[in-house]
Structure 1
Amino acid sequence: MTELEELYIGTDIGTTSTKSVAFNRQGKAIYEAAKEYDLHTPNEFVAEQDPDEVFEAVVETLQHILKQVDHPKQIKFVSFSSAMHSIIGLNKELKRITQSITWADTRSNEVVERLIGEGKADAIYQKTGVPIHPMTPFSKIIWLRERDPEQFEKISKFISIKEYVCFKLFNQFVVDQSIAASSGFLNLHTLDWDDELLLEMQITREQLSAVVSTTYDDFELQERWKEQLDFDAGTKFIIGSSDGVLANLGLFAIKKGTVAVTIGTSGAIRLVHDQALLDKEGRTFCYPLVENHWTIGGPVNNGGVILKWAKNELAQSESRKAELLNEDAYAYVTRMAQSVSPGANGILFHPYLLGERAPIWDAEASGSFTGLRMHHKKADLLRAVMEGILFNLREVLEIIEDQGGVIERVYASGGFAKSETWRQMMADIFQLNILIPESYESSCFGAVLLGLLATKEISSFAEVESLVHLSNEHIPNHGLAEIYDKIFVKYSKIGVALRSID
C-alpha cells in the first residue's frame, strides 16, 4: 500500500474571502479552496462583515479540502492566519450583538482626532507600537461606548474575527500575540493588555481573551464540528498569527536586508527584525511573530482597489471592449499604462482615495492628480495611478529602511504580483530586485511554516528556507533611477504641500 502523503493546511481569514490551502512537506500547494463573502459598506465610513458568514467560509473551505484528500489522517495540522484590527461584541449569553467592524471602518475617526488633540497619541504609540488610527479596535471600542452606551453595557466580550472562529470551533477565548498587538491596547513591552488603556476604554480584562503565543495549539474541536469536519483525532490546530506577519514568513522575507510587499485591495511593506523597533514619528507598526522575530511595517489603504477605481471610472469603454474581446480588463488597462513613458508625461497622482494609513496616517486625506494638461490622454492617467500607488509605498519603504537598515531585496505578493507590468514598475521605482513567489497565498503558507515550528517538526525557520519557491525575479532598469528619483522628490513635496492646506 502506498504511504499517504502528509499535508498541512494554512487557513487565511481575510476581509472579503477565506482561503484554505493544503501544502505538502516540500512546500507545494496540493489542494486549495476559497469562499468569498461581502464586506458591507452602506456608506464611505462603514466596513463590516457578518461574522457567521466568515465562520461558514472557514468551515466550507476546510470541508472542501477534506473531501479531496485520500484520508483525513493525511492532515497533520491546521494553522490560522487572519486579517487584523476587527472587533465584535458578544453579550452575556455569548451571542454576538454587533457585526465584525473591520480595519477599513473609519467611524471612530472623531475619537482618534480627539486623542491626538489631547496629546495622547505618542504615549499610546510608544506603549503599543500601533499608530493612533480609526483602524484600531482601541478607537472603535471607545466609539462604540460613546455612540450607544446602552448597547455597550450589554457587551461582555470584545473579540476579533479570528477569536470568533476559535470560540465557535473550540469553545475557547484566546487571542494570539500578533492579533492582540494589532488591537492597539496590548503593551508591546510586556505582551499583556495595558491597564491604563483598558481604563481609557472603560473595559476590564474579563471582557478580553487570554493572550497566547502564536504557536498555541491546546485546542479540541467541539463535538458538532468533529462530526461536520471529520478530521482525524491526531490533527492539531494552531492559533497562528496575523496575515501580514505570516506573509513575510511565507515569502521567507525574514532575513536582514529583505522586505515583503503585499498589494491586494490594500497594501503593506514589512520587514522582520530580531527586536521590537518603534518609529520616532509613530509612522510604522510593530507586531510580534515568535520569540526574537518582530514584524515592522506600514499598511496602506490604497492598493489594488485604486486600480479597480481607475478601471471603472477612467477606462469604462476600454474595460467593456476588453470584455467583448474576452480579455481580462485589468490586463488591458495595464497595457495602456505600459504604453506611456515613465513619469506619465508629467502627471502625478496621490492615491489617498480612502484616506491613508502609512505613511501619513490621515483618515480624511483625499487623492489628487497634479500636472494635467490638454494633451494628456487616458493612458497617461492610468500610468500615473499605477506609479502613484508605488510612490506611496516607496515613502513607506524609506521610513522602514531608516528603522531596520538598508534593504536589498523585495519579496512581492498579492493580486498585483500577477501583473508583470506592475512588478517591473515597482522594481524601477524602488530600484531594487523584486522576487515573486510560486504561490500567491503567502499568508496561508506562512501559517503552515509557523505550524511546523509549533508542532516541533522544525526547530527554527532556517530549516524551511528551501521550501519557499520563486517563479520570477525583476531587475530594476538602472537607467530609470535618476528619472524616478526626481519624480519621487516632486511627489513627496507636493504631498506635503497639499496636506498643509486646511
Structure 2
Amino acid sequence: MAYTIGIDVGTFETKGVLVDHAGTVIAQAARGHQMLVPQPGWAEHRPEEDWWGDFVFVSQQLLAQSDIDPRDINAVACSAIGPCMLPVDKEGNPLMNGVLYGVDGRAEKQVQALTDRIGEETIIARCGNALTSQSVGPKILWLKQECPEIYAKTAHILTSTSFLVQHLTGEVVIDHYTAANFSPLYDVTTQAWVSDLADDIIPLEKLPRLLWSGEIAGEITAEAAEATGLAAGTPVTAGTIDAAAEAFSVGVDGPGDMMMMYGSTIFIILRAASPVSDPAIWYAPWLFEGEHASMAGLATSGTLTHWFRDHIARDLQVEDAFSALAQEAMASPPGANGLLLLPYFSGERTPIHDINAKGAFFGLNLTHTRGDMYRALIEGIAYGTRHVTDTFADLGQRPKRLLAVGGGTQNRLWLQATSDICGLDQVVCEKTTGASYGDAFLAALAIGVVKRADISAWNPVSETIEAAGDPIYEKHYVLFRRLYEQTKDIAAELSG
C-alpha cells in the first residue's frame, strides 16, 4: 500500500491524518495551542512552537500510530490559518510572532492610508478585494513603520503555510489562493506580484515564489526528515490556507458549491464560475489555474463558544461543557426569550469590515438564564452568517449546494439554527475531519494517484440538515441588523 499525509495548523489546534489512496483514515493526531492576544485587536502565534513544533509532533504521532514505513508515504501536503504575516531572516528564522489573519486589526491605519492613496475602486479592480484587516499588504507596511529594526532584517515575508513548507523543503513558496490576500501586492488579473500600486511596502523579491496548490514545491530535506520522522525526498505540495483545504475535503469543486466551515470562525467559500469583485466579500483564484472562488468570514464563532464556556460556564467540566450548554440552550425557545447577541467580539470581517464593532448581549432581564444566553450566542453567530449569505445572494451568488464542515458540525443546535436562520439546507459529509483530510487528498492528487472527482468516494454525503425556519428568526434578524447600525458609533468611540 501507499499513503499520503495531510497536516493542518488551525487557530487553536493542529490536526493531521494519514490515509491510503482510497481515502481510508489509517491514523489521526492532534495537538492544541493558544492564540496570543498581547493587546486588544492583535492576534498572534509562535511560529516555531505553534506551527513547526505542532507539525513535528503530529507527523511523529501519525507514524507511531500507524507503524507504517515512512518510505511508503508518497506525498505530504499542509495547510494553515491564513493569511498570516511573518518576517523571517535569511536563514528562515522568525523575527517576531506570526501576525494572524483578519482577527488581527493592528494595521487599521495602514489599511485606510493605502485605500486613500490608491483608491478603493482601483484596488478592487486590480486585487479583487478591498483592503481590510484580512489583507497582508497593510500589515507588512505596519511592520515597516512600527518595527523598522525587524523590517531591516527581513529576508522574506511568509505566511503560515509558507513557513511550514520552507521548514520541510527549504523552498520559499506560496499558492495563488493565499497570495491573493496580500493586496495590494498581488494582481488577480495577471496573477502575479506587483509593486506599481504601492512600491513602498516591500521589495517583491522578498515575497515567496508563486505556485498552484496542486504543484509540488520540493522534497523533504534530511534535516526535516530527522525532525519529523518522514523520509527525506518525500514530495511536498505548495499547500494552501486551511479553509480552502477544508472546502476540498467535502467536495467543493464545481461552480455553485459553497462550503460553510464551522471552526474558530465561520468561513465561507463559494466556487464561482467567474471572478466576483465587491468590497463586501473577498475574491481569489481557486486552487487550480483558471478557476475562481469568492470568500467570506466572520471574526468570532467557535472562538466565542470557547469564551462563553471559559467565562460563563466555569462550573461545568471542560470535557462536558458544550453538550451541557447545548442542553440548557435547547430548553430556551427560538429567539432565546427575546435576547439578541452581536457576535463582534473581535470586530467583524465580512460583510461589514468593521474592526471597531463590539460584541453585546441585548435585551437582558432578570428572567434570562444561561441557556437563553447560550442560545442567543448561537443564534447571533447564525444571524451574522445570514448577513453573509444574503450578501452573496444580492451579488447573484446564491449557492446551488451548501456543504458544512468543521468541528462545529458536532453542535446540532448550531447547525440547525444556521439552516433555519439562513433558509438553506446543508449537506454534511461522512468525514468532518476537515482541512487535514483535504490536504491528504490534495497530496494524492498532486502525484497523480487520484482524480478530482474521487473526493466524492473518499467522503460521501452522510445527511442533510433541512431548513425549517421560524417567524421569530425573521423578526430578530431585522433587529440584529438594526442593533449593529444603531450602536456602531458608540462602539467606535469605545475603541478610542
2:149 and 2:255 mapped to 1: Cα distance?
Answer: 50
Tell me which residue corresponds to 1:490: 479
The CA distance in 2 between the partners of 1:91 and 1:232, in whole Å, is 27
Query: SS of 2:82's equivalent?
Result: coil
Counterpart of 2:36 in 1: which secondary structure? coil
Amino acid at match of 2:104: D
* Distance 1:21-1:186 versus aligned 2 partners, 3 A rule: same
The alignment status of 1:30 with 2:26, answered yes or no, reads yes
Whether contact under 8 Å (1:408, 1:433) holds in the other structure is: no
Q: How far 1:111 sits from its partner (Å)? A: 1.6
- 2-structure distance, mates of 1:215, 1:309: 37
- Of 371-380 and 424-433, more deviation after overlay is shown by 371-380
For residue 411 of structure 2, what is the aligned residue in structure 1? 419
Give the whole-Å Cα distance in 1 for the aligned partners of 2:237 and 2:283: 24
CA distance in 1, matches of 2:307, 2:484: 21
Hey, what's the Cα distance between the residues in 2 that align with 1:37 and 1:377? 32
The Cα shift of 1:17 comes to 2.7
Provide the C-alpha distance between the structure 2 equivalents of 1:100 and 1:81, rounded to a whole number of angstroms.
15
Q: Report the number of matched residues.
A: 487
- 1:291 aligns with one of 289, 308, 312: 289
User: Is the 8 Å Cα contact of residues 125 and 282 (structure 1) preserved in structure 2?
Assistant: no
8 A contact 2:284–2:294 mirrored in 1: yes
Query: Which residue matches 1:86?
Result: 84
C-alpha deviation, 1:94, in angstroms: 4.2
**Counterpart Cα distance in 2 of 1:327 and 1:463:** 36
CA distance in structure 2 between the partners assigned to 1:87 and 1:128 by the alignment: 18
Q: How does 1:52-67 map to 2 (within 5 A)?
A: 52-53=48-49, 54-67=51-64
**Post-superposition offset of 1:364:** 1.0
1:195 aligned partner: 195
SS of the residue aligned with 1:245? helix
- Return the alpha-carbon distance in structure 1 between the equivalents of residues 289 and 93 of structure 2: 35
Q: Which runs of no fewer than 5 residues in structure 1 stay unpaired?
A: none
Kindly indicate whether the alpha-carbon contact (under 8 Å) linking 1:21 and 1:32 is maintained by their aligned counterparts in 2: yes
Letter in 1 for 2:424: L
The CA RMSD over aligned residues, in Å, is 2.3
Q: State the Cα deviation string for residues 285-339 of structure 1 (Å, max 9, x = none).
A: 43421124322111111101112223333x33xx41x32xx96111111211111
Give the Å deviation of 1:143.
Answer: 0.7
Structure 1 SS opposite 2:252: coil
SS at match of 2:297: strand
1:301–1:382 distance in 2 versus 1, CA, 3 Å = same
SS of 1:432's equivalent in the other structure is: coil
Residue type of the partner of 1:47?
Answer: A
Deviations, residues 169-209 of structure 1 (Å, cap 9, x unaligned): 211111111221222221111111122245041x2122111
User: CA distance change for structure 1 residues 308 and 93 in 2, over 3 Å: closer, same or farther?
Assistant: closer
Q: 5 Å matches for 1:72-221?
A: 72-103=70-101, 104-118=103-117, 120-184=119-183, 185-201=185-201, 203-221=202-220
In 2, the alpha carbon distance for the partners of 1:84 and 1:226 equals 25
Partner of 1:219, secondary structure, is strand
Q: How far did 1:366 drift? A: 0.7
Poorly superposed stretches of 4+, deviation over 6 Å: none
**Structure 1 equivalent of residue 36 of structure 2:** 40
The match for 1:398 among 386, 390, 394 is: 390
Q: Distance in 1 between matches of 2:388 and 2:131?
A: 17
Contact map agreement 1:112 1:139 (CA 8 A) in 2 = yes
Q: Distance in 2 between matches of 1:287 and 1:263?
A: 23
Residue-by-residue CA offset, 1:383-406 (whole Å, 9 max, x unaligned)? 111100000011111112333533
Is residue 360 of structure 1 aligned with residue 349 of structure 2?
no
Q: Secondary structure at the match of 2:216?
A: coil
Task: Report which stretch shifted further, 17-26 or 294-303.
Answer: 17-26
Aligned equivalents of 2:483, 2:437: Cα separation in 1? 40
What amino acid does structure 2 have at the position aligned with 1:222? T
Superposition map of 1:281-320 within 5 A: 281-313=279-311, 315-316=312-313, 319-320=314-315
What residue in structure 1 maps to residue 3 of structure 2?
7
* Matched AA of 1:63: Q
- Are 1:254 and 1:271, in contact at CA under 8 Å, matched by a contact in 2? no
Contact map agreement 2:79 2:245 (CA 8 A) in 1: yes
Q: TM-score, normalised by structure 2?
A: 0.91
Q: Which secondary structure state, in structure 1, belongs to the residue aligned with residue 219 of structure 2?
A: coil
2:465 matches 1:468? no
Deviation for aligned residue 1:118: 4.8
**TM-score (norm. length: structure 1):** 0.90
